[in-house]
Amino acid sequence: MTNKPTSNHVPTEATRQTVQLHTMVGTNQTDIARVLDIDEKTLRKYYRDELDLAKAKANATIGGALFNKAKTGDTSAMIFWMKTQAGWRETKEPEEAPDLAAALALIAAKLPG
């Protein structure tokens, strides 16, 4: 990566889209800066909105798609939604441990003798 002075960088619509796309899919800021051949400070200075909003946009897009699948009856999507959004859990209450002494006494009482 070259350390270009921040005053030389001019954001374009194409670089803004690049930053947004990379941020949406989880590319870290160090790598995004390298892709654009700028310093990380320059990235944060000129692309603050893209960095801050891209993940929210991605979550809204994927969340919307998941919600639509759930509404059409996709059972996996429905279950996932209910677990993550409605607090559903798959838990099984632990069975009470059997009273071993009582069980042995019952068995002994039924034995002949």
Q: Is residue 67 part of a domain?
A: yes
Q: Is residue 98 part of a domain?
A: no
Q: Is residue 23 part of a domain?
A: yes
Domain that holds residue 15: 6-90
The pLDDT score that the predictor gives to residue 109 is 78
Q: Is residue 36 part of a domain?
A: yes
Q: Is residue 108 part of a domain?
A: no
Number of folded domains that form the chain: 1
Integer CA distances (angstroms), 19 to 25, 29, 106, in order: 10, 9, 72
Q: Is residue 82 part of a domain?
A: yes
Q: Kindly tell me if the per-residue pLDDT of 4 is higher than 60.
A: no
Which has more pLDDT, 113 or 52? 52
- Please state, in angstroms and rounded to a whole number, the distance separating the CA atoms of residues 47 and 90: 42
**What does the pLDDT look like over 40-59, one tens digit per residue?**
999 999 999 999 999 999 99
Q: Is residue 55 part of a domain?
A: yes
Q: Kindly tell me if the per-residue pLDDT of 9 is higher than 70.
A: yes
pTM beyond cutoff 0.75: no
